[in-house]
Amino acid sequence: MNPIANTIIQFDKVSKIFPDGTKAVDDVSFEIEEGECVTFVGPSGCGKTTTVKLLNRLVEPTHGSIYLNGEDTGKVDVIALRRGIGYVIQDVGLFPHMTVVQNISLVPRLIGWSTADREKRTDELLTLVGLEPSAFRSRYPHQLSGGQKQRIGVARGLAADPPVILMDEPFGALDPITRAQLQDEFLRLRSRLKKTILFVTHDIDEAIKLGDRIAVMRSGRIVQFAPPVKILSEPADHFVKDLVGKESGLKLMKLAKISDIMVPALAPILEGSSILEAKRLMVEKGSDILLVVNDQGTFRGAIRFEQLNQKDGGTVADLMDLGIPTVRDNGEIQAALEMMLRGERFWLPIVDEEKCLKGIVTMTQFACFFAREAQG
């Protein structure tokens, strides 16, 4: 987390006791930083939904205070407060008598945007959530699939460009394929829009995948509030451990990026270098293999020691192995491991988006990764 980031949301000893005596939220305190996505996870009835609804005052706290941008939310106008917080819910709640445009541009309309601005914004948002504006603008909710409805729901939540967004199990009612797709798009959206997001889910995998930090809740209390890696590697108690499940090692692997485990490639050689030079470099580095790049640093191939004896003259480019599979530096390590096992390769070159050689992974890096995670 960014050390200079500002606290945007603060819960200070907040409790909610319903009239029937249920303690839905029990003395909860936490802070959320600007631009952070916090997922609230736990079994049903744990208070996760109530907790986020306390922020936009759909639920009023019994005790304690909640601050948004340093202001006590209990003391500001509730309507203005809600208009400044995007709200996306599981059942979407699109207005059935309004078109997609009217649904999305409702909050902008309430706060007095001009028609032209609203239309421009709607088209922008439809494109952002992956729907073709011309095809969807004038549709009614009953003409949309579940996944499309929720995309519109997300677009509506973003409409007036609120800095904070509450999402209450937004993907909970979708089929697994649509859900995975929307989760991926959510991550893509997040990297483009710097929003502070409070995301409620009952699915620990979703919480791990989408959250910068996870608040694990039980019986109205936050049991653990930590980044996903920490939840997986150091669960606070048995409850969190059970929630995470048996496959915490595999889940951890999903979180890590190739760039977290790769090592720099040992002295790459230019493709125009002479065979002699390659031999000298191998001897110097004590290595049997060299990675070959062109003068832009683009990965080209690899050359092995035994190949060098085939010919004395010429360049490395004449002899090297081509067509070696590469892996992107921001890729998932699980996919890389899969590639190595299937292709029976012992190492993989890592490249960036310009195909420039960034490093290398071997089985050793995987072994180190798991050993490190096992130790915490």
Partner 1 sequence: MNLLTYFVKNQNLILKLTLEHIKITFIAVSISTIIGVIIGILITRYRRAATPVIGIAGIIYTIPSLALFGMLIPFIGIGMKPALIALILYSQLALIRNTYVGITHIDASIREAGKGMGMSPWQFLRMVELPVALPVIMAGIRTASVMNIGTATIAAYIGAGGLGWLIFRGIASVNAEQIIAGAVPVTLLAIGVDYVFVLLERVLTPAGLRH
Residues lying near partner 1 in the complex (CB under 8 A) are found at 56, 58, 79-84, 87, 89-99, 106-107, 110, 140-142, 153, 156, 166
Q: Whole-number minimum distance, CB 142 to partner 1, in Å?
A: 5
Phi and psi at 207, nearest 5°, equal -60, -40
Q: Whole-number minimum distance, CB 144 to partner 1, in Å?
A: 11
Q: Whole-number minimum distance, CB 167 to partner 1, in Å?
A: 11
Cα-Cα-Cα-Cα dihedral sign, residues 82, 87, 90, 94 = positive
Would you say 126 and 138 are in contact if contact means Cβ atoms under 8 Å apart? no
- Residue 219 in 3-state DSSP? coil
Would you say 59 and 50 are in contact if contact means Cβ atoms under 8 Å apart? yes
Q: Whole-number minimum distance, CB 82 to partner 1, in Å?
A: 3
**Count of other CB atoms within 10 angstroms of residue 335:** 13
Residue 160 or residue 269: which is nearer to partner 1 going by CB? Answer: 160
**Count of other CB atoms within 10 angstroms of residue 175:** 11
Would you say 153 and 74 are in contact if contact means Cβ atoms under 8 Å apart? no
Residue 86 or residue 268: which is nearer to partner 1 going by CB? Answer: 86
Sheet holding 299-304, edge to edge: 269-270, 289-293, 299-304
Q: Which residue has the tokens 């319903």?
A: 18
The C-alpha angle with vertex 157 and arms to 153 and 160, in degrees rounded to 5, equals: 135
**Count of other CB atoms within 10 angstroms of residue 193:** 13
CA atoms of 184 and 181, how far apart (whole Å): 5
Residue 141 or residue 301: which is nearer to partner 1 going by CB? Answer: 141
Q: Is 161 left (phi over 0), alpha (psi -120 to 50) or beta?
A: left
CA atoms of 302 and 289, how far apart (whole Å): 7
Residue 150 or residue 233: which is nearer to partner 1 going by CB? Answer: 150
Residue 197 or residue 275: which is nearer to partner 1 going by CB? Answer: 197
Residue 24 or residue 166: which is nearer to partner 1 going by CB? Answer: 166
Q: Whole-number minimum distance, CB 140 to partner 1, in Å?
A: 4
Q: Whole-number minimum distance, CB 370 to partner 1, in Å?
A: 43
Residue 104 or residue 231: which is nearer to partner 1 going by CB? Answer: 104
Q: Whole-number minimum distance, CB 158 to partner 1, in Å?
A: 12
Residue 88 or residue 327: which is nearer to partner 1 going by CB? Answer: 88
Q: Whole-number minimum distance, CB 58 to partner 1, in Å?
A: 6
